[in-house]
């Protein structure tokens, strides 16, 4: 049986369009939209990582609302998806959670830019999951800051399309990758 596949949405350190390090805000849409992809493709946990206690308290309230009786009446399919969300303060907490349950994960990142030195193919992920859990990192803002490099084991190839334009929303990138990774 395969070890788990988890995803993490990173809000710090990420870069802005000038390459400066920023902390991006969690957007509501990323919470439930990516949670639906996670539920669809059998992801064990969708980690939403943000350093601000206030932001995470707000996100917790939003998630609780979606799981309330009232919300269930309106959007019954949302609860199974948002139940996969784990709000974490930092990456070490994400790793600690996975390690406590299944052992050290393979940390795989995604980017619209190529990273030929440390790359892994979608087709290799399933084989890796026979040995260890796999965690896929997604960025926000204009992508993961380069300081993530020494915490990442490998990058998946960028999603490319008709020409060199490939600035997808993180929500679209998650769905495309997950479909490839589990089939
Ligand atoms: N803030 C925008 C949004 O999501 O609405 C910009 C997208 S966000 C920074 C970019 C992230 O989405 C990257 O860190 C990566 O995880 C993913 N992404 C976007 N385009 C991609 C592509 N062509 N290939 C791989 N990942 C991509």
pLDDT in tens, 35-66: 999 999 999 999 999 999 999 999 999 999 99
Q: Is the CB of 22 under 6 A from ligand 1?
A: no
Residue 109 has a pLDDT of 98
Residue 28 has a pLDDT of 93
Q: Is the CB of 27 under 6 A from ligand 1?
A: no
Q: How far apart are CA 159 and CA 132, in angstroms?
A: 24
CB 16 within 8 A of CB 142: yes
Residue having the nearest C-alpha atom to atom 20 of ligand 1: 168
Nearest-Å Rg of the Cα atoms of the chain is 16
Q: What is the mean pLDDT of residues 3-19?
A: 98
Q: Is the CB of 176 under 6 A from ligand 1?
A: no
Count of C-beta atoms within a 10 Å radius of residue 111: 19
Residue having the nearest C-alpha atom to atom 5 of ligand 1: 169
Q: Is the CB of 166 under 6 A from ligand 1?
A: yes
Distances in Å between the alpha carbon of 55 and those of 10, 11, 28, 111?
A: 13, 11, 11, 25
Name the residue with higher pLDDT: 75 or 47: 47
Q: What is the mean pLDDT of residues 17-33?
A: 96
Task: Tell me the pLDDT tens digit for each residue of 89-129.
Answer: 999 999 999 999 999 999 999 999 999 899 999 999 999 99
């Amino acid at each position: 049986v395969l070890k788990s596949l988890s995803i993490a949405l990173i809000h710090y350190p990420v870069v802005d369009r000038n390459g400066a390090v920023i902390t991006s805000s969690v957007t509501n849409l990323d919470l439930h939209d990516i949670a639906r992809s996670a539920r669809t493709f059998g992801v064990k946990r969708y980690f939403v990582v943000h350093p601000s206690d206030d932001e995470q308290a707000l996100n917790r309230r939003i998630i609780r609302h979606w799981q309330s009786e009232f919300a269930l009446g309106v959007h019954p399919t949302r609860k199974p998806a948002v139940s996969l969300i784990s709000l974490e303060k930092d990456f070490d907490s994400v790793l600690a959670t996975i390690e406590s349950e299944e052992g050290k994960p393979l940390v795989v990142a995604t980017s619209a830019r190529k990273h030929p030195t440390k790359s892994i193919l979608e087709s290799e992920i399933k084989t890796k999951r026979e040995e260890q859990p796999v965690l896929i990192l997604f960025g926000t803002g204009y992508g993961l800051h380069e300081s993530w490099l020494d915490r990442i084991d490998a990058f998946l190839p960028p999603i490319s399309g008709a020409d060199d334009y490939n600035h997808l929303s993180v929500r679209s990138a998650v769905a495309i990758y997950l479909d490839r990774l589990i089939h």
